[in-house]
A and B are shown apart, each in its own frame.
Chain A
Amino acid sequence: MSKVLMKGNEAVGAAAIKAGCRYFFGYPITPQNEIPEFMARELPKVGGVFLQAESEIAAINMVYGAAGSGARVMTSSSSPGIALKQEGISYIAGAELPCVIVNMVRGGPGLGGIQPSQSDYFQATRGGGNGDYRHIVYAPASVQEAVDLVMEAFEVADYYRNPVIILGDGMIGQMMEPVEFKEPKKRDLPPKDWATTGTKGQRKPNVINSLYIDPKLLEDHNLRLEAKYAKMKENEVRYEEYNLEDAEVVIVAYGTTSRVAKNAIAKCAEEGIKVGLIRPITLWPFPDVAFDKISDKTKAVLTVEMSTGQMIDDVKIAVNGRKPVYFYGRTGGMVPTPNAIVEEIKKIIGGDK
């Protein structure tokens, strides 16, 4: 199939429909409005349902109902809206339902701003809702990757019966790039015999629930979930590594920031400074394994984020004291420039060469 030029948000919607998503429940918020607008236009054409909910809270609970009924379903929002959805995300994780949730991150806290940001890393990876739960978080760095990951996300969500987060940012959502819609790798998915479809008098009632009033039963449930999350950690880690072999400094960056970092790496190369990159594609599970590939020649690790430093906690855990870890970030909707990153690298290695 040939490539088409699409805005990130619309491409996300198109990818979802291609992946079999037929239900979308959302609420307007900038900078992701093109997703619900695209779904409102396109879902009826394929026999699907778009519904604008009265709030983000209602939208995620509609997702809970639809997911429990066996449907492929998605919602999208941006940072403050995702904060409101956390109640539902926790219930969905607790009841083990599959769905895809897109966050086109904007600056915070509070109402914040509407420019691209990566300041929802903690919210996305630490579980913004209550309780012991985890979900896979994909961080696309291009419109093409957003398309690929959205399609994959539906398979992964069904495979594990777990919500999956696509963590984009205003930049990924708003920019236009050529994309190709490739068939995602199909997983061997069992029938959704747990879904509420009416018993037809043929089976015992199915119950979608996250309540376990007996603490022993809740502990058993928590441990069962933990075993599932362990499988995700084992099988679903994704990252890109770039120029790690003889890098003096290794940058760690994801999404939009990783693209700026690559420009900075090219500029450094022109000046004879060797810089590598680890780009986590899954923020959870975090690609700890990538950090074992950092060579002895590497003097330091530099985390670059559009925040005041959130992923750096995971980087420090992964580096585990083997190298010094530095941070450079812009926040509030400001995007780091390649030159600023080059300057940070020069500071780290001790001045110009």
Chain B
Amino acid sequence: MAIVFEKTKGLTEKPFHYCPGCTHGIIHRLVAEVLEELGVLGDTIGVAPVGCAVFAYDYFNVDMHEAAHGRAPAVATGIKRVHPDKVVFTYQGDGDLASIGAGEIVHAAHRGEKITTIFVNNAIYGMTGGQMAPTTLVGQKATTAPYGRDEAHTGKPIRISEMLATIDGAKFVERVSVHDPANIRKAKKAIRSAFEVQLSGKGFSIVEVLSTCPTNWGLTPVEALNWLKENMIPYYPLGNFRKPEEVE
């Protein structure tokens, strides 16, 4: 019988701890599949964040570092400078990357650090229980914004991809979503392009993946997918913001 789908070798046998309906699992799989398809699993070193993906080092079947909150791009820099021939990636959430780690990601991009960042944006702090993130939408409720995010009080959500796209060292910047199968396929293509940019030695690459948090949004998994589509995508438009000419 022909095998039409099998689990990627890029993931370990450890069951995910993620909540039902959370899209971290899909994003993990896409990254692992791309690394396997590029034939670089044995030459990859990943960096896990602090946040919901803190245990990513248990799931990716590659050498891994666990970083302090927000510091993954700095840790990845240290790794890549020692092992310039290895594939080095960070996997970070929006609290980690867009808030406490804003400095590290900007400067890694600015240096044109030859690493790839998978930036999972679900507009909330998941692991700590639903606090407001810099990416939380105006009006969106969070445990530390119980009346909804008020622009006059905490500003508007930060658009990381647009910001990083202004930096010359960032050679590939794309925002994707995983709320339906068509977008999942596009997300995988972007992740592949990002790693290919790293392999070509051109510079920094990042894929921002819009993701759901049904638990902390207080929605069912299906409602959460719809909420992402209807509320996040209008504010966080999908598409490529920067790529080398030869990447289609």
B103 touching A23, Cβ below 8 Å: no
| Size band of the interface chain A makes with B | 35 or more
Are A198 and B74 in contact, CB atoms less than 8 angstroms apart?
Answer: no
Considering only CB atoms, which chain B residue lies closest to A199 in the complex? B42
A69 and B43 contact, CB distance less than 8 A: no
Which chain B residues lie closer than 8 Å to A202 at the CB level?
A: 42
Q: Which residue of A lies closest to B83 (CB)?
A: A69
Q: Do A62 and B81 touch (CB < 8 A)?
A: yes
Stretch from B60-68, B130-138, B148-156, B162-170 at the A interface: B60-68
Minimal Cβ-Cβ distance residue in B for A73: B78
Q: Are A210 and B82 in contact (CB under 8 A)?
A: no
B138-186: which residues lie under 8 A (CB-CB) from chain A?
none
**B65 A199 Cβ-Cβ under 8 A:** no
Q: How far is the CB of B155 from chain A (nearest CB, A)?
A: 23
Chain B residues positioned under 8 Å from A67 (CB to CB): 78
Q: Is A211 an interface residue (CB 8 A)?
A: yes
Give the shortest distance, in Å, between A32 (CB) and chain B (any CB): 20
Find out whether the CB atom of B78 lies under 8 angstroms from the CB atom of A63: yes
**How long is the Cα–Cα vector from A200 to B104 in the complex, in angstroms?**
29
Asked whether A208 is an interface residue with its Cβ less than 8 Å from the other chain, the reply is: yes
Q: Answer yes or no: B79 CB below 8 A from chain A CBs.
A: yes
CB pair B74 A207 closer than 8 Å: no
Residue of A nearest to B113 (CB): A51
- Asked whether, in the complex, the Cβ of A65 is within 8 Å of the Cβ of B47, the reply is yes
Q: Residue of B at shortest CB range from A65? A: B78
Contact: A64 with B104, CB < 8 Å?
A: no
Q: How far is the CA of A197 from the CA of B43 in the complex (A)?
A: 7
What is the size category of the interface that chain B forms with chain A? 35 or more
Q: Quick check: is B28 within 8 A (CB to CB) of the other chain?
A: no
Query: A196 contacts the other chain (Cβ, under 8 Å)?
Result: yes
Give the distance in Å from the alpha carbon of A69 to the alpha carbon of B42 in the complex: 14
Which residues from A are CB-within-8-Å of B12?
A: 205
State A208–B62 Cα separation when bound (angstroms).
12
Question: Which listed residue, B47, B75, B77, touches A51 by the CB 8 Å rule?
Answer: B77
Quick check: is A25 within 8 A (CB to CB) of the other chain?
yes
Q: A53, A68, A201: which contacts B65 (Cβ < 8 A)?
A: A68
Of the candidates A53, A66, A70, A209, the one whose C-beta lies within 8 Å of that of B66 is A209
**A210, closest chain B residue (CB):** B66
Q: Identify which of B43, B63, B81, B107 contacts A206 (C-beta below 8 A).
A: B63
Given known A-B contacts A65-B76, A65-B77, A205 and B83 have beta carbons under 8 A apart: no
> Is there contact, CB below 8 Å, between A207 and B82?
no
* A220 close to B (CB within 8 Å): no
List 9 A-B pairs, minimum CB-CB distance, nearest first.
Answer: A65-B78, A61-B74, A196-B63, A62-B78, A66-B78, A54-B107, A65-B75, A69-B82, A61-B71
Q: What 17 new A-B contacts, CB under 8 Å, besides A61-B67, A196-B63? A: A57-B103, A62-B74, A64-B71, A65-B47, A65-B80, A68-B65, A196-B83, A197-B83, A198-B42, A198-B86, A199-B61, A199-B63, A202-B42, A206-B63, A207-B63, A209-B57, A211-B66
| B contact residues vs A (CB 8 Å cutoff) | 12, 41-45, 47, 54, 57-58, 60-68, 71, 74-83, 86, 103-104, 106-107
Q: List 16 A-B contacts (CB under 8 A).
A: A51-B77, A61-B71, A64-B65, A64-B78, A65-B78, A68-B78, A69-B83, A73-B82, A91-B67, A91-B68, A197-B83, A198-B83, A199-B41, A208-B64, A209-B64, A209-B66
